[in-house]
Structure 1
Amino acid sequence: MNWTESDVVVDGVSLHVRRGGNPDGPTVVCAHGFSDDGNCWSRLADRIGDRYEVIAVDARNHGRSDRGAADWEGLAADLAGVVDALALERPTLLGHSLGATTVALVAARRPDLVGRVVLEDPPWRLEQAPLGADELAGVTAWVASLDGRSVDELREMGRRQHPNWPDEEFDSWAPAKLGLGPRSVEHLVPIDWRSVVPAIEAPALLVLGEVELGAIASPEVAHAVSNLHGDVGVVTIEGAGHNIRRERLDAYVDAVAGFLR
């Protein structure tokens, strides 16, 4: 995907935006997961860019966007502000993990902005316990360990951690780690998703992986979401864990494209 890149300022926060695909098609705005950036949507954009305009936003404390404190409401306000600033007409919002929660909040807080919602393995559990001190310290140490590494070193690290991913995924995954701000760990706070989902008015698609392979949202969470939202579809992609589109892109594209049609 050949992106056109720019920065959008929302309430004093500069957010990096990539834009590509078919400018005459419906718009899909993509919100990435923790430690990624907008370029990590490139393989998906390559697959759907002939039909859709694809816009990928670097979340605060990620990629080329500004650093600084941001709770969930702040991340949602950032993304909503980009939609407003670009004068997009009720685009589809598609989010993975941290991005899925951000997208859900935008849809709940600003239903006027959103046409459809796709949630790729949101980090929602039936019991949303806060991160323990040891777990938080481990994530913080992992982020700090990325400093000073080369892209090639990070690419090799990624291959060891994710041996089932296509090799081209690491062309975006590795550089994204160099854009990860130390305050990004502040975003890893569980959210009361049961209070968010009922406020979503747009049709939604929940894309799940297999918990046994590392997915977070379980079938029980999907059942609860379905009870809270009157217009949600649920698709489980076999053979995928948390990073569904990276591990089973064909099945993922089929599910998302079917929903968008």
Structure 2
Amino acid sequence: MMADRWSTPEEPPVSAPDPDPAGPPAWFVQALAAAPAHREVAVDGTPVHYRVWGEPGRPGLVLVHGGAAHSGWWDHVAPQLHSHRVVALDLSGHGDSGRRASYDMATWAREVVAVAAAEDLDRPVVLGHSMGGWVSLVAGVEHPGAVSAVAVIDAPLVSRPPEEDRLRERRRPHRRYPTAEEALARFRTLPPQDVLLPHVREHVARGSLRREEDGWTWKFDPQLWGPPPLLAELLPQLTRPAALFRCEKGLVDRAMAAEMAALTAGGLPVVDLPDAGHHPMLDRPLALVTGIRTLLAFWPHGGPARG
């Protein structure tokens, strides 16, 4: 789940999820059948949960979810990236990872590096969506020896993650729902997307829930936000190869993408995802997979460092 303009569990009248009369397509069923291994590593005393796909010894790829989301957002994407050993983590305060007293991008970046080290990934590519793109950039700047290349998906050049505003307004304990179905009906993404694949929505929404004694609630910590990085200052410091996935109906328009490219020391190739909303894994997952595969083909063995 994301927040504000990105994605958050809203509180509209309860309505059932959109029907999927044809059922999930074969590629989706097959992807979920390739179940990941679930593991955990402690980072600064907090347990960080992560998922792993692919054969050991392959080039590494670390996937970083967006704000208030979780590693399960990649469940139908990661198994299709066959060329790599893929790790997707739950940042602290998200998913099945532990919570902290406070959060910041630098800590999350250390978590990215820690899960890569736990899986013995040699300088992996780090790919982050939305707020996770910011985390990925921080990892590339602050841990250049541990990261070979960085790619971001629709992470805008703004002063702070857009989802932060909405969640700051909602800094209170999550509501409890008597049934999972009622909670699932509350799951929304923002901004609205014309196409939201029902089978993908169902999967990521269920993975966003935790059952407690008094009902069902969302997994993410409502007290997530700390000091944001300044991307305008961060991008010029990046010494690793970098790329941007720009979603046609997302938050990064062509002018912003050009501005981000101009700020990036070694340039920033832009991969356009036609007709994709801010969350392409929810509405255009196969286009996203194709884009990631193509990018990784240009970054063999994780992509050599510049300089």
Task: Work out whether the TM-score is over 0.5.
Answer: yes
Unmatched 5+ stretches in structure 2: 1-33, 210-217, 298-307
Is this contact kept in 2: 1:100–1:122, CA < 8 A?
yes
- TM-score, normalising length from structure 2? 0.74
User: For residues 150 and 184 of structure 2, what CA distance do their matches in structure 1 show?
Assistant: 31
Pairwise CA distance, 1:137: 4.7
Q: Would you say 1:67 and 2:99 are equivalent positions?
A: yes
Any idea what SS the aligned residue of 2:245 has?
strand
The C-alpha deviation readout for 1:146-191, integer Å capped at 9, x for no partner, is x33643233333379666222221212332243111222x15x643
Pairwise CA distance, 1:7: 0.9
The C-alpha deviation readout for 1:75-131, integer Å capped at 9, x for no partner, is 112222222333320111011011110000000111111122110111423xx2787
Match of 2:89 among 50, 54, 57: 57
**Paired AA for residue 179 in structure 1:** K
Matches within 5 A, 1:1-261: 1-48=34-81, 50-68=82-100, 69-125=102-158, 128=159, 135-140=166-171, 144-145=174-175, 147-148=176-177, 150-158=179-187, 164-169=195-200, 170-177=202-209, 178-184=218-224, 186-187=225-226, 190-210=228-248, 213=249, 215-229=250-264, 230-261=266-297
Q: Which has the higher contact order (CA 8 A, sep 6+)?
A: 2
User: For residues 172 and 133 of structure 1, what CA distance do their matches in structure 2 show?
Assistant: 20
User: For residues 35 and 149 of structure 1, what CA distance do their matches in structure 2 show?
Assistant: 22
Pairwise CA distance, 1:231: 3.6
Q: How many residues align?
A: 251
Unmatched 5+ stretches in structure 1: none
- TM-score, normalising length from structure 1? 0.86
Pairwise CA distance, 1:4: 0.7
The C-alpha deviation readout for 1:21-46, integer Å capped at 9, x for no partner, is 23343221111011211111011113
Q: Aligned Cα RMSD in Å?
A: 2.6
Is this contact kept in 2: 1:21–1:54, CA < 8 A?
yes
Is this contact kept in 1: 2:48–2:90, CA < 8 A?
yes
User: For residues 162 and 78 of structure 2, what CA distance do their matches in structure 1 show?
Assistant: 33
Alpha carbons of structure 1 residues 2 and 90: separation in structure 2 relative to 1, 3 Å: same
User: For residues 130 and 119 of structure 1, what CA distance do their matches in structure 2 show?
Assistant: 14
The structure that is helix-richer by fraction is 1
Is this contact kept in 1: 2:157–2:232, CA < 8 A?
no
**Paired AA for residue 150 in structure 2:** V
**Paired AA for residue 64 in structure 1:** D
Percent sequence identity over aligned pairs: 25
Q: Which has the larger radius of gyration?
A: 2
**Paired AA for residue 110 in structure 1:** H
User: For residues 165 and 286 of structure 2, what CA distance do their matches in structure 1 show?
Assistant: 37
User: For residues 208 and 74 of structure 1, what CA distance do their matches in structure 2 show?
Assistant: 26
